[in-house]
Amino acid sequence: MWGTDWVAWHRAYDDPGSRFSGRLRQVQAHLSEVLERQPAGEIRVVVPCAGQGRDLLGVLLDHPRRDDVVATLVDLDRGNVEIARAAASQLGNARITVVRGDAGRAAVYSDAVPASVIVLAGFFDYLTTEDLRRLITSLRMLCAPDATVIWARRTNAPRHLAPEIRAEFEAAGFVAVESEIAPSAAAHIGVERFAGTPLPFRADARIFTFRDPQSLVRRARRALGRQKRRLQRWRGARPS
């Protein structure tokens, strides 16, 4: 289905000096603090486009709240899902579910919401501006009151810059808790608290569409081609 080998893509996390592993450490640090601050009792965690589950599973290795966590990790890549399931089984926590499915469809979260914590890291690059907005807006039907959302975005991204992302969260009823630029990870990490009114859950909703990098390149090339053709037509229509 995809042109990218997503298992190979994750190998960059094994290099402790890479920006990927740097971002992972920062996300895990924030997630650890967020779990620590949760009220006593069950903590429902949702991780869309979870890949190999490193953001959450690495934290739960020795976290004091690990037995309170009821987590749903969603990813479409078969290889990464198998790796995440194997890692989850090592924790001995039967309340971690790794789902192979389209994370952009609300139906996969039917048994996982409303969530107390949602982790959005590593995949904003693969969403269009419209889909990023749709995702953030859709969080209102996935979040419990006062839920926390952790997101990460690389600082040198050509689209979805941090101020724009923050504005979308604010419009959706979220209040900024923390905002950090991690130079070693070349990433902006945001922590948001949901202060709005939850929306009814709609299992039939499409909350975003994940686009493989190669499809985004093709999309950009088509857009550039259209611009060139319009420019050529405009030049041809000009009076000589």
**Residue 67 and residue 106 share a domain:** yes
Same-domain pairing of 137 and 234? no
In a domain, residue 46? The reply is: yes
| Domains: count for the chain | 2
Beta carbons of 129 and 160 less than 8 angstroms apart: yes
- Calculate the average pLDDT of the chain: 89
Do residues 107 and 203 make contact, with C-beta atoms less than 8 angstroms apart? Answer: yes
* Whether 177 and 219 share a structural domain: no
Asked whether residue 202 falls in the same domain as residue 219, the answer is no
| 167 lies in the same domain as 234 | no
Residue 134 near residue 224, CB atoms below 8 Å: no
Query: Is the CA virtual torsion 217, 3, 132, 107 positive or negative?
Result: positive
**Residue 236: which domain range?**
213-240
CA angle 148, 167, 18 (to 5 degrees): 65
Confidence of residue 236 (pLDDT cuts 50, 70, 90): low
| Rounded Cα distance, 193 and 124, in Å | 19
**237 and 218: one domain?**
yes
How large a percentage of the chain has pLDDT more than 90?
A: 66
Could you tell me if 32 and 45 lie in one domain?
A: yes
The number of angstroms, rounded, from the C-alpha of 197 to the middle of its chain's C-alpha atoms is 22
pLDDT tens-place string over residues 67-111: 999 999 999 999 999 999 999 999 987 799 999 999 999 999 999
Domain assignment present for 87:
yes
Residue 160 is predicted with a pLDDT of 73
Supply the DSSP symbol for 198: P
- 119 and 87, same structural domain? yes
Q: Are residues 144 and 239 in the same domain?
A: no
The answer to whether position 1 is within a domain reads: no
Q: In the predicted model, is pLDDT for residue 23 greater than 70?
A: yes
Q: Are residues 28 and 83 in the same domain?
A: yes
